[in-house]
Amino acid sequence: MSADQSRRFCVLSWDQVQRLDSILGEAIPIHGRGNFPTLSVQPRQIVQVVRARLEERGVCVRDVRLNGSAASHVLHQDTGLGYKDLDLIFGVSLRDDQAFRLVKDVVLDCLLDFLPAGVSKERITALTLKEAYVQKLVKVCNDTDRWSLISLSNNTGKNVELKFVDSLRRQFEFSVDSFQICLDSLLLFDRCSKTPMSESFHPTVIGESVYGDFQEAMEHLCQRTIATRTPEEIRGGGLLKYCHLLVRGFRPSSEADMKQMQRYMCSRFFIDFPDIGEQQRKLEAYLQNHFVGMEHKRYECLMTLHQVVNESTVCLMGHERRQTLSLISMLALKVLAEQNAIPTVTNVTCYYQPAPYVQDINFSNYYIAHVQPPPVTACSSSYQTWLPCS
């Protein structure tokens, strides 16, 4: 291993191993839809079961890793981020569609093992389990990325996300979410050791930063610094994550870095979500999934997004930019109404200049905004809503 490669890795301390063990042993409810019962699942249990079942079916699992905010929490408890989703990555080979189907079938079959005693399993099909317990199914298969995601439902937003990765070109957005912790040694210890872990007797657990420099990424995490590499590769959702970090007290390392990141991320957002309807769906889904228990932060996040889009969007025509800003303002107003933070929600004065296409007989220096969003079709057009940056 070269010096550059070794900088990616670090051995976890005893305190970090204890936090990891606690997360893997926490019982997480998987809520069923309709009359289906709630499943109680420990992450270490579902990893062991899924891995064993895959290997029985001839699928070799290279390793299993904890990823994302949960991994950051293990490494530094006071991140300011907390963690919601539990992201578990299984390294597998996904050569063809049959391999993708096999992985999905194995996971759904494993859910049967977690049904409460007394539940009749004979007539429960894989399709039934998918409808009852799976919140999201994603399959990506192209020249650079081959992976699938199965997200198990949790009503409080703490979803267990099982990600099966053959190849993935971009595995992080910012250095603070670039950490992955290999679970193999800890899971092997669970199976083989009858002696409880202690400071003098515990497995060696390795952490990796796919950002490329573990210590630098840890400094960013501890100091709440926003940094990345090749920001032009960050997909459109990275803009929302960036605003989320700003709201949580993270700051870019320099003014120049901030301006460059914001321009790239705004451009990519409008490339990935060119239609106003897609933008609205993405924003609403992000607010719903990432602010459970922190609803009071939604308005601040939207206002931060409004400022970033207003200052850093360079690839849109003027009316398209105003259209997106109006959408963000409308969602912010809706959030305030849900929090009962405004006196009346049917007639609220917003101090911003409306887009030219807004028709309102009462308009005079102010725009009287209504909580009900305008029909998406009214804003949709057949033209492209982004232009190449020159």
Per-residue model confidence (pLDDT) at position 342: 61
CB-side exposure of 160: number of CA atoms within 13 Å?
22
The first and second tokens of residue 125, run together, are 């099909």
Instruction: In whole angstroms, give the CA distance from residue 383 to residue 217.
Output: 41
Q: Nearest 5°: CA angle at 270, between 266 and 275?
A: 150
Instruction: In whole angstroms, give the CA distance from residue 110 to residue 71.
Output: 24
Instruction: In whole angstroms, give the CA distance from residue 44 to residue 181.
Output: 13
Per-residue model confidence (pLDDT) at position 316: 81
Per-residue model confidence (pLDDT) at position 367: 40
Q: Are 221 and 239 in contact (CB under 8 A)?
A: no
Instruction: In whole angstroms, give the CA distance from residue 331 to residue 193.
Output: 53
Is the pTM higher than 0.75? The answer reads yes
CB-side exposure of 38: number of CA atoms within 13 Å?
9
Q: Are 74 and 20 in contact (CB under 8 A)?
A: yes
Q: Are 32 and 154 in contact (CB under 8 A)?
A: no
Per-residue model confidence (pLDDT) at position 123: 86
Q: Are 180 and 208 in contact (CB under 8 A)?
A: yes
Per-residue model confidence (pLDDT) at position 70: 93
Per-residue model confidence (pLDDT) at position 3: 67
Per-residue model confidence (pLDDT) at position 351: 47
Per-residue model confidence (pLDDT) at position 369: 43
Instruction: In whole angstroms, give the CA distance from residue 83 to residue 23.
Output: 11
Per-residue model confidence (pLDDT) at position 120: 85
Per-residue model confidence (pLDDT) at position 255: 87
Residue-wise pLDDT tens for the chain (390 aa)? 666 778 999 999 999 999 999 999 999 999 999 989 999 999 999 999 999 999 999 999 999 999 989 999 999 987 666 677 899 999 999 999 999 999 999 999 999 999 998 888 888 999 999 999 999 999 999 999 999 999 999 988 788 999 999 999 999 999 999 999 999 999 999 999 999 999 999 999 999 999 999 999 999 999 999 999 988 889 999 999 999 999 999 999 888 888 999 999 999 999 999 999 999 999 999 998 888 878 889 999 999 999 999 999 888 888 889 999 999 999 999 999 988 766 554 544 454 445 444 444 444 443 444 444 444 444 444 444 444 443
